Structure 1
Amino acid sequence: MGFAERRKNYWRGRFKTAPGKHLTVVDENGKAIRFASRGEAQRAASEAENKYRRGDWRDPALGQETFGEYANRWYETQDLAASTMQNYKRHIEEHLLPDFEDKALASILRTDVDQWEKKEKAMYAASSVKTWRSTLHLIFEDSIEESLLTSNPAAKRRGRGKRAGRSRERGPEKVVTDPLGILLTAERAALLSGRDDEFVAAVLKGYTGMRWGEIVGLETEFARPGSIRVEWQLYELDTGELVRCPPKDDSYRAIDAMDWLSALVANLVARTKPTPCPCHGKTYVFRGQSTARTGGHQGAKLVDVARRAEVSTGTVSNVLNHPDRVTELKRVRVEQAIADLGFVRGGAGSEHAAHWRRNGFATWLFTPAVSGWYPKKAPQEARPVPLLGEPWPGIPARGRGASDRADACWLPIAKGLTPHGLRHTHRTMMEDLGTEKVLMDDRMGHIDGSVSARYAHVTPGMRKRLKLGLTEQWEAALDARLTLCPTSPVRMLNDLLHARASTVQPPRQRSSAGPRIPAGSQAG
């Protein structure tokens, strides 16, 4: 039982914590409380002793550690994936420490956190602020585990302080496309890059739902006939380093691949003959882009000239090096294409980087493909992708005066679509086919922890129906593309269109010698 202890001109409360060990009743700052009467001191001491026995008492000296000190100590104890550690570091250094670094843990109140959140939302997207608050909440929760705090000031109280009705923080709806949109996006990305890697990658992502890191990190040994095995991903850190790590949430899986999709990947590998990369020593399906092949402002490439003249790259090379080996008609066509495109021999680099960079791919290849516009990049403003309209759907004009030489530009396919949006698109396509949820989760690498999911299992029949449905969607997209134009400047797609045309005659075909401004384009 607590007792009062007489001092010179005041009383203090004392209570027992162990045999021969007593503590003094103190305030929230750890200073001994001076009571005016013996009764007050004894009551406070008894109450403190009861709290101690119940386990509710904590030392007021704890929690005086500053948030900055604890956050640094907390971060050092984490042992997580490199991507997670990078995100935590960014959240703490850029968004939490500026407001809370010098404050004692115990002094941070719920109102302080709410005020910080309100300030952040005035500058950043609500979804980002929500993520940063989650990190703050986690840090406080771990401080409670260490008995530094008794409650979490970052905890959300449902329904408190909010206007009734639908949430005002709803983000924009995720943009998705359809099978034809996937095909057209893949074709345009290949035209912008000047090779087939981007065509295969966009189709693969749209028809498997693989994450971006899983596409970049797809090793040739896991691209097997009939399936794509997801074993690793390459995650790009802020330093530019690409870390080879397990897929998100350990979502290892084998994704069923239709015969045509397996053939598409196998043909690309057979033609490009990839070699082990210098950074990981592994052989990957897809190569990166060199600096000279991104940005939209560099000079035309040899493949651009070949596409414009509708000849092979070998023919273009012969015109440049051995003109006597080429017929007069082809030589004139190639020389005209060189003039139209502003091609400068040796003006575009040919070295490939080992891997794509997330920002470079999305900014200079994917976004222009789906929107028809290059983004703003100093000193240039956002601008339409300049095109030479023939052959359809147009050859990107590059180099100085590209806009003046252009006679067409692309209409948007799905403005706002992102590479991750193709993952959403794949899920939507499966929903449209009536695919069972257990198979959709298995394919996407999602985990359903419900009791119902424990009794659901994927069957061969489910897999077969899904592959048939996706094949029908692919063939319908090819038929629609044939209707627009029976040929393509992208070699892989051109081969697919020819093969499809030999088996199915589409209802309407556009001649490759048709109007200058075709469907999907507008005057530049």
Structure 2
Amino acid sequence: MAYAEKVYKVRNGRQTKQFTWKAKYKRPDGTYGSESGFDTKTAAIAFGEEQEAAARRGNWIDPALQRKHFGVFVRKTWMPAKSKRGNTMDRRWNHLEQHIFPRWEHVELNAITWFDVDAWQQTLTCDDTTRGHCVSLMSTILTGAVDAKHLLVNPLFGRRRTVATGAAAAATKLKKSDEEKWAPVEAVLRIADRMGPVNGLHVLTCAFTGLGWGESAGLHRRNTLLLRRQAYDGGFFECPIIRVDAELGSLAEYTRRGPNGERLGGVLQLEPPKNNEARPRDIDIPPFLAQLLRYHLDDWPHDMVFSTPGGKYWRRGNFLRQNLRPAADGREGLPRVKGHAARPAWAPIKPGLTMRDLRHTHDTYQDQIGVRESLAHEQAGHKRPGIKSVYQHPTPEMREQRLAGLQDIFERGMSNLGWETLWGRVSLSKRRIVVVSQKSPK
């Protein structure tokens, strides 16, 4: 049964007549716990009885754990127990160090309220998406605190944060419009042509396959131009594919972190794809792209299909700065000087285009040509929601129609530009059949 004890204050090494009350109560394991600092005996006993009642209900939380600082719980308990891909861990530590810890590191877990968190996130100077990620990460951590018996409830769970409206929203960085998130095929072709038969083919491949940056930059020649073969219409359907490998299918670039978030150096290596349930996949390639890839692999001496000229992995920032940004955004011309040839000026084609926009572009093309939902999700590496994902599956006829549609988009783009060749490697003088369909003789 709970009871209270006097705790006398000490001044200059001597006990005084002043005192407070300490609550003593029985924990679930039969030992006694205590909590000091009560002004009255009644308050101390009430607290102790409340702890014992919670123990009988089975939902007792140690008050000492509830008072643990948020930063201590994150560093010592949550982050070590929630190990993820290196890039995910680096991104979490960045959110914690840059935005969350300056405000919450030394706050006790049970002192965190939704009102304070919502007010805080509105003051962050980062973009609104990052604000949302920070609040989401905090909520995930506090759910972990509930699971670890540090809190009874997560005060952030299920709450909708306040977002900027009106003038405040206008002051933040504007998001891209839907039109800016994808590129017409003519723009893709012109940018690819500027970038040449290696880096330009990289851009073209992403736009017509939906490969993400890590998947394309980490593409190995052993996973390129493989063959899909399925029974179809009395024969077989065949088409070349690119495979996103489940083990080493994505190039990851991040900072390796130690147990407490300390930086241990940069990492640039192949890892499993981010979502290992849907992202490993075989992507059907239209004939024009298969032809270009075949020419490229015949000439290219390196294992990685889209590496640097020296065969090393591209860093995303370097690829954008040296290749995509000048080709898409335009550049100034430079005169010939000693040691450097003249450089022609380039007018802008699609300013701001990113490799992620090319992934948007591919899925937009799929929607444009009416690719069936089961196949569209499979080819883009998206997990299809709902019961239809269980019962509906891509068929060879669906694949045939998709490839024909993508081939047509390419050929119409070339025709609109008045081009018959691209880097001298593909000709439209004879239209190609999209799918090889071998029928058994009757």
Please give the range of the TM-score, normalised by the shorter of the 2 chains: 0.7 to 0.9
Cα shift at 1:363: 2.0
Unmatched runs of 5 consecutive residues or more in structure 2: 8-18, 227-239, 256-264, 432-442
Paired residue type of 2:267: E
Structure 1 window deviating more from structure 2 (467-476 vs 79-88): it is 79-88
1:353, 1:271 → 2: CA distance? 13
Of the three residues 366, 369, 378, the one matched with 2:324 is: 366
1:134, 1:458 → 2: CA distance? 35
1:11, 1:84 → 2: CA distance? 47
Paired residue type of 1:456: Q
Paired residue type of 2:286: M
Instruction: Give CA deviations for 1:407-430 in whole Å, capped at 9, x if unaligned.
Output: x74333222221110100010011
Of the three residues 59, 62, 84, the one matched with 2:62 is: 59
Q: 2:281, 2:381 within 8 Å by CA — same for their partners in 1?
A: yes
Q: 2:221, 2:304 within 8 Å by CA — same for their partners in 1?
A: yes
Correspondence list, 1:6-405, <5 A: 15-17=25-27, 21-23=31-33, 30-31=35-36, 33-35=38-40, 45-73=48-76, 74-120=78-124, 123-155=125-157, 157-158=159-160, 171-174=175-178, 175=180, 176-190=182-196, 196-225=197-226, 226-231=240-245, 232-238=249-255, 239-250=265-276, 251-274=279-302, 283-288=303-308, 352=310, 354-372=312-330, 384-386=331-333
TM-score normalised by L of structure 2:
0.77
Instruction: Give CA deviations for 1:25-67 in whole Å, capped at 9, x if unaligned.
Output: xxxxx32535356xx7666554443222113332221133222
Cα shift at 1:273: 2.4
Q: Tell me, what secondary structure is at the counterpart of 1:242?
A: strand
Q: Tell me, what secondary structure is at the counterpart of 1:131?
A: helix
Q: 1:269 to 1:401 in 2, by over 3 A?
A: closer
TM-score normalised by L of structure 1:
0.66
Q: 1:55 to 1:173 in 2, by over 3 A?
A: farther
Of the three residues 468, 493, 509, the one matched with 2:423 is: 493
Q: 1:155 to 1:455 in 2, by over 3 A?
A: same
1:237, 1:6 → 2: CA distance? 55
Q: Tell me, what secondary structure is at the counterpart of 2:355?
A: coil
Of the three residues 455, 467, 477, the one matched with 2:403 is: 467
Superposed CA RMSD in Å reads 3.2
Q: Tell me, what secondary structure is at the counterpart of 1:255?
A: strand
Q: 2:2, 2:52 within 8 Å by CA — same for their partners in 1?
A: no
Instruction: Give CA deviations for 1:294-342 in whole Å, capped at 9, x if unaligned.
Output: xxxxxxxxxxxxxxxxxxxxxxxxxxxxxxxxxxxxxxxxxxxxxxxxx
Cα shift at 1:132: 2.3
Which is greater in Rg?
1
Cα shift at 1:148: 1.3
Unmatched runs of 5 consecutive residues or more in structure 1: 25-29, 191-195, 275-282, 290-351, 373-383, 388-396, 505-524
Instruction: Give CA deviations for 1:46-99 in whole Å, capped at 9, x if unaligned.
Output: 444322211333222113322222221122333321111221222222222222
Paired residue type of 1:228: I
Cα shift at 1:188: 1.5
Q: 2:122, 2:163 within 8 Å by CA — same for their partners in 1?
A: no
Cα shift at 1:287: 2.3
State the identity as a percent: 26
Q: 1:198 to 1:109 in 2, by over 3 A?
A: same
Paired residue type of 1:288: T
Q: 1:503 to 1:213 in 2, by over 3 A?
A: same
Q: 1:452 to 1:198 in 2, by over 3 A?
A: same
Q: 2:195, 2:324 within 8 Å by CA — same for their partners in 1?
A: yes
Higher RCO (CA-CA < 8 Å; seq separation 6+):
2
Q: 1:187 to 1:240 in 2, by over 3 A?
A: farther
Instruction: Give CA deviations for 1:463-515 in whole Å, capped at 9, x if unaligned.
Output: 000001111111111212226xx67xxxx52342xx32x348xxxxxxxxxxx
